[in-house]
Chain A
Amino acid sequence: MFRSTSERRRRRLLPLALVAVLALLGAGCGGDDSGDDSGTGNGSGDDVVTAGFIYIGPINDGGWTQAHEAGRADAAETLGDTAELTYKENVPEGPEAAQAMRDMIADGADIIFANSFGYGDAIKEVAAEHPDVKFEHATGLDTGGLPNVATYFGASEDTIYLTGLAAGAAIPEGGTVGFVAPFAIPEVIRHINAFQVGVAEVNPTATTKVVWTNTWFDPETERQAADSLIADGVDAIASGQDSPASGEAANEAGLPFVGYDSDQSENLPEVWLTASLYHWGTYYAERIQAVIDGTWETGDYYGGIADGFVSLAPFGDLVTQETRDLIGQREDDLVSGDFYEFAGPLVDQDGTERVPEGESMSLEDILAMDWFIDGVDGDASP
Chain B
Amino acid sequence: MSGLLVLASTAGAAPDLASSGRGVNSNLFVVIAASAIFYGTPLVLAGLGEMLTERSGILNLGLEGMMLMGAVAATWGSLNVGGPGWFALVAALVAAMVAGALVACVHAVLVIGFRVEQIVSGLAITILAGGAGLSSYLAGSWDLSRGPVPHRLGRFDVLGLGDLPVVGPLLFRQNLLTYASWLLVAALWWYLFRTRRGLHLRAVGESPATADAMGIPVERYRYGHTIAGGALAGLGGAFFPLAIIPLWSDGLTGGRGWIALALVIFGFWRPELILVGAYLFGASASLGLTLQARGVEVSPQLLASLPYLLTIVVLVAVSTGWARRRVGAPAALGTPYERESR
Question: Which A residues lie at the B interface, using CB under 8 A?
Answer: 1, 11-12, 14-16, 18-20, 22-23, 25-27, 29-32, 58-62, 89-90, 178, 209-215, 217-221, 223-225, 227-234, 243-245, 248, 251-255, 264, 266-268, 270-271, 377-379, 382
Once A16-B120, A231-B293, A379-B297 are accepted as A-B contacts, the answer to whether A26 and B110 lie under 8 Å apart by CB is: no
Q: What number of B residues sit within 8 Å (CB to CB) of A?
A: 64
Residue B14 is within 8 A (CB to CB) of chain A in the complex = yes
Q: Which residues of A contact B286 (CB under 8 A)?
A: 224, 227-228
- Please measure, in the bound complex, the distance between the C-alpha atom of A271 and the C-alpha atom of B11, giving whole angstroms: 11
27 contacts between A and B (CB under 8 A): A19-B120, A22-B106, A23-B124, A23-B128, A26-B127, A26-B129, A30-B132, A30-B137, A31-B137, A61-B250, A90-B250, A90-B251, A212-B292, A212-B300, A215-B304, A217-B249, A218-B254, A219-B244, A220-B245, A223-B245, A224-B289, A225-B293, A227-B18, A227-B35, A231-B19, A243-B245, A248-B245
Closest 9 CB pairs of A and B: A30-B132, A58-B250, A26-B128, A15-B114, A26-B133, A228-B289, A231-B18, A23-B124, A228-B290
Q: In chain B between 103 and 121, which residues have their CB closer than 8 angstroms to a CB of chain A?
A: 106, 110, 114-117, 120-121
The closest CB in chain B to the CB of A14 belongs to B114
Segment of B77-85, B139-147, B181-189, B325-333 in the binding face: B139-147
Q: Which residues of B contact A (CB under 8 A)?
A: 11-12, 14, 16, 18-19, 21, 26, 31, 35, 39, 106, 110, 114-117, 120-121, 123-125, 127-134, 136-137, 139-140, 145, 147-148, 240, 244-254, 256, 285-286, 289-290, 292-295, 297, 299-301, 304, 340
Enumerate chain B residues within 8 angstroms of A214, measured Cβ to Cβ. Answer: 300-301, 304
Which residue of chain B has the shortest Cβ distance to A12 in the bound complex?
Answer: B115
Q: How many A-B residue pairs have CB under 8 A?
A: 196
| Smallest CB separation, A69 vs chain B (Å) | 11
| Smallest CB separation, B34 vs chain A (Å) | 8
**Given the complex, which residues of B lie within 8 Å of A90, measured CB to CB?**
131-132, 250-251
Q: Given that A15-B110, A26-B130, A224-B35 are contacting pairs, would A58 and B136 also be in contact in the complex, using a CB cutoff of 8 Å?
A: yes
Min CB–CB distance B216 → chain A (angstroms): 21
| Smallest beta-carbon distance A324→chain B, Å | 23
| Residues in chain A near residue B16, CB distance under 8 A | 230, 252-254
In this complex, what residue of A is CB-closest to B35? Answer: A227
Known: A29-B134, A61-B249, A230-B19. A252 touches B124 (CB 8 A): no
Given A19-B110, A58-B136, are A26 and B254 neighbors across the interface (CB < 8 Å)? no
Chain B residues near A232 (CB, 8 Å)? 21, 290, 293-294
Residues of the A chain whose Cβ atoms lie less than 8 Å from the Cβ of B136? 29-31, 58, 60
Q: How far, in whole Å, are A271 and B148 apart by their CA atoms in the complex?
A: 14
User: For B134, what are the chain A residues with a Cβ–Cβ distance below 8 Å?
Assistant: 26, 29
Task: Tell me which of B35, B131, B133 has the highest count of chain A C-beta atoms within 10 A of its own C-beta.
Answer: B133
Which of A23, A223, A233, A251 is within 8 Å of B244, CB to CB? A223
Q: Chain A nearest CB: distance from B104 CB in Å?
A: 14
A252 near B133: Cβ-Cβ < 8 Å? no
Q: Name 10 extra pairs, CB < 8 A, besides A19-B110, A218-B254, A227-B35.
A: A22-B106, A27-B133, A32-B132, A58-B249, A60-B140, A213-B304, A224-B289, A252-B14, A377-B295, A382-B301
On chain A, the residues within 8 Å of B35 by CB distance are: 224, 227-228, 231
- Whether the Cβ atoms of A19 and B116 lie closer than 8 Å is yes
A11 / chain B contacts, CB cutoff of 8 Å: 114
Q: Which of A18, A29, A219, A251 contacts B11 (CB 8 A)?
A: A251
Task: Enumerate chain A residues within 8 angstroms of B285, measured Cβ to Cβ.
Answer: 221, 224
Kindly list chain A residues whose C-beta atoms are within 8 Å of the C-beta of B11. 248, 251-252
CA distance A219 to B241 in the complex (A): 10
B27 → chain A closest CB, angstroms: 10
- Contact A231:B31 (CB < 8 A) given known A248-B247, A379-B297, A382-B301: yes
Question: Nearest chain A CB to B29's CB is how many angstroms away?
Answer: 12
| Residues of chain B with a CB closer than 8 A to A233's CB | 21, 26
Q: How far is the CA of A225 from the CA of B290 in the complex (A)?
A: 7
CB-CB under 8 A from A30, the residues of chain B are 132-133, 136-137
Q: Which of A25, A211, A264 is B293 in contact with, Cβ under 8 Å?
A: A211
Give complex CA distance A42, B150 in Å.
43
Residue of A15, A60, A213, A264 near B249 (CB, 8 A) is A60
Q: Which residues of A contact B292 (CB under 8 A)?
A: 210-212, 228, 378
The complex places the Cα of A336 from the Cα of B106 at a distance, in Å, of 62
Q: Which residues of B contact A227 (CB under 8 A)?
A: 18, 35, 286, 289
Question: CA separation between A20 and B121, bound complex, in Å?
Answer: 9
Which residues of B are found within 8 Å of A230, using beta-carbon distances? 16, 18-19, 21
Closest to A184 in B: B300
In the bound assembly, the distance between CA atoms of A266 and B11 in angstroms comes to 13
Q: Which residues of B contact A378 (CB under 8 A)?
A: 292
Q: A90-B131, A266-B147 are in contact. Are A229 and B293 (CB under 8 A)?
A: yes
B62 to chain A, nearest CB (A): 11
Query: Which residues of chain A have C-beta atoms less than 8 A from B127's C-beta?
Result: 23, 26-27
Residues of B within 8 A of A27 (CB): 127, 132-133
User: With A1-B340, A23-B124 known to touch, is A178 a contact of B293 (CB < 8 Å)?
Assistant: yes
| Residue numbers in A under 8 Å from B294 (CB-CB) | 232
Q: Is the CB of A16 within 8 A of B116?
A: yes
Contacts of B256 in A (CB 8 A): 220
| Residues of the A chain whose Cβ atoms lie less than 8 Å from the Cβ of B246 | 248
| Given A227-B35, A231-B18, A22:B132 Cβ within 8 A | no
8 Å CB contact of B299 from A31, A271, A382:
A382
